[in-house]
């Protein structure tokens, strides 16, 4: 069995985001980048499946510029077996990303494909669902627990009303939530080993896919600054008065 994991290189979650002066996007030059946290959870879950002898190989796929190799190497250092970089400098929307992933799911004949539920840079939360639709595969999103049972996967997912467990057939698509696991830190020996693991680079144009963007970002703005003043109240009655007099609250 084989697991395919999609990862994305994003601005590190500890970095304060700065909007470009022309409001066309956010500044990425000279900014620390790292693996999308939800994708890191996906990599960890795939490696755990391999450690349980449920799967034989973990393949990492990522899309972007040459620098994305660093993100793939991070996944290889965690324990993945090999990586694939689809090289491009074009910003792709979820449908285009899903089309690319579909190509590799079919090429690699992966039994399980795992993605983070969303990327922290755009928060689309669409790619896994679109990929399942393109492949006509069963899907389980927002997974907080994954268990293999015969030729099916039991996936516990977080929903508004609590937890829901789905039983889905293989091959399938799974997207990960925060409480699925805690990703491991790569040890120094594994970081060194990752440098020699296979990493194939493929130019995006070689795939011959229709990747016409259907979404257009018109403007990006920073949220308004929060007020810094604090008012201490003596009792709950004063609080109610403040809330009543604050426009738009009560």
Domains located in the chain, CATH noted = 2-225 (3.40.50.620)
Q: Sorting pLDDT into bands at 50, 70 and 90, what band is 61?
A: very high
pTM greater than the 0.75 cutoff: yes
Q: What is the pLDDT of residue 227?
A: 66
Q: Identify the DSSP state of 103.
A: H
Q: What is the mean pLDDT of residues 212-224?
A: 85
Q: What is the mean pLDDT of residues 202-221?
A: 89
Q: What is the pLDDT of residue 29?
A: 82
CA distance 64 to 209: 16
Task: Judge whether residue 249 has pLDDT over 60.
Answer: no
Task: Judge whether residue 250 has pLDDT over 60.
Answer: no
Q: Identify the DSSP state of 48.
A: H
| Cα radius of gyration (the chain) | 21
Pairing assessment for the beta strands 112-116 and 152-159 based on DSSP bridges: unpaired
Task: Judge whether residue 53 has pLDDT over 70.
Answer: yes
39, 42, 47, 85, 226 from 183: Cα distances, Å: 10, 9, 10, 22, 33
> pLDDT over 70 for what percent of the chain?
97
- pLDDT tens string 109-127: 999 999 999 998 888 899 9
């Amino acid at each position: 069995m084989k697991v395919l994991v999609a990862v994305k290189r994003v601005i590190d979650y500890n970095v304060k985001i700065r909007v470009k002066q022309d409001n066309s996007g956010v500044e990425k030059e000279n900014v620390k980048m790292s693996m999308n946290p939800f994708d890191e959870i996906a990599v960890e879950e795939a490696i755990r499946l391999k450690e349980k002898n449920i799967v034989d190989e973990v393949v990492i796929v990522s899309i972007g510029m040459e620098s994305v190799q660093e993100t793939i190497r991070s996944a290889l250092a965690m324990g993945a077996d090999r990586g694939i970089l689809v090289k491009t400098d074009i910003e792709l929307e979820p449908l285009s990303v899903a089309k690319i992933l579909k190509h590799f799911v079919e090429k690699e004949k992966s039994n399980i494909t795992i993605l983070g539920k969303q990327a922290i840079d755009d928060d689309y939360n669409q790619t896994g669902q679109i990929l399942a639709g393109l492949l006509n595969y069963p899907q389980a999103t927002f997974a907080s627990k994954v268990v293999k049972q015969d030729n099916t996967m039991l996936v516990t997912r977080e929903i508004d009303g609590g937890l829901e467990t789905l039983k889905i057939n293989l091959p399938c698509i799974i997207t990960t939530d925060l409480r699925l696991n805690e990703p491991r830190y790569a040890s120094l020996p594994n970081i060194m080993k990752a440098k020699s693991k296979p990493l194939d680079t493929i130019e995006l144009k070689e795939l011959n896919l229709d990747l016409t963007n259907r979404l257009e970002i018109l403007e990006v703005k920073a949220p308004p600054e929060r007020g810094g003043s604090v008012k201490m109240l003596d009792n709950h009655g004063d609080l109610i008065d403040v809330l009543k007099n604050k426009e738009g609250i009560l």
